[in-house]
Amino acid sequence: ILLEAGKNLGAGTGGAFNIAISPVVKAWGFTEAEHHVPTQAELDTLLPLTDPDNVVLDKMTVFLEKEGMAVDLGGITKGYASDEVASLLKGKGVESAIVSLGGNVFGIGTKPNGDKWEVALANPLDANDYCGLISIEDKAVVTSGGYQRFFEENGKKYHHIIDPDTLLPGTFWRSVTIVCADSGLADALSTALFLLPLEEGQVLLEKCGAEAMWVDADGNHFYSPGFHALIRT
């Protein structure tokens, strides 16, 4: 189910979310004990291994058509798990709860007093600060950013969100936060929009019926039209 969801979400984001990116993430050392800045020659060699069309699903089996391929479901696993936990709780009659899995939060219903849940949005430029509070009801809030998993080499920082087109860490944003009713979708969208310019991200967002906040390297905030109604700073 998760592999199928990953492929479908990848197609829906125009390839910005890519479950076949694993060999490149490994080359950068984000799944290894030692980080490493790959050469362009190394990346060129890995490019043919990152086509999700070569991940073939057939009922209960998965076939990787090229030797050296691997899948990376880290971009949707927490979102999928959050949806499953929320579904389980609702099935048990729970009408008010908050599910938190790191940068992935799902608010079931409202607080017992009827108020909406409030989630603090991390400031990617200052670990001791936040960007504001967002109010949710039966919604997921998912943030992707390059400010937690990264390493430095020769004075330059490299984070773990890899662009499938360049095979380099994405450069458009410091963080992207998504709000929508589907936590798995929010997870994939936060990664995809992190790797897209604002205009392309807005188009994708509108197709999915979600809201977003972008934070750039200078700390400037950009919002989708409906996000203003959700946040207070």
Instruction: Give pLDDT tens digits for 1-29.
Output: 789 999 999 999 999 999 999 999 999 99
Q: Specify the pTM.
A: 0.93
Instruction: Give pLDDT tens digits for 161-178.
Output: 999 999 999 999 999 999
Query: Is pLDDT above 90 for 55?
Result: yes
**Over 26-51, what HEC string results?**
HHCCCCCCCCCCCCHHHHHHHHHHHC
Query: Alpha-carbon dihedral of residues 147, 103, 126, 230, nearest 10 degrees?
Result: 130
CA dist 88 → 3, 42, 93, 96 (Å): 21, 44, 9, 13
Measured distance CA(189)–CA(192) in Å, rounded: 5
CA dist 229 → 6, 96, 136, 224, 233 (Å): 30, 22, 10, 10, 12
Instruction: Give pLDDT tens digits for 187-221.
Output: 999 999 999 999 999 999 999 999 999 999 999 99
Question: What is residue 116's DSSP assignment?
Answer: P
Instruction: Give pLDDT tens digits for 130-155.
Output: 989 999 999 999 999 999 899 999 99
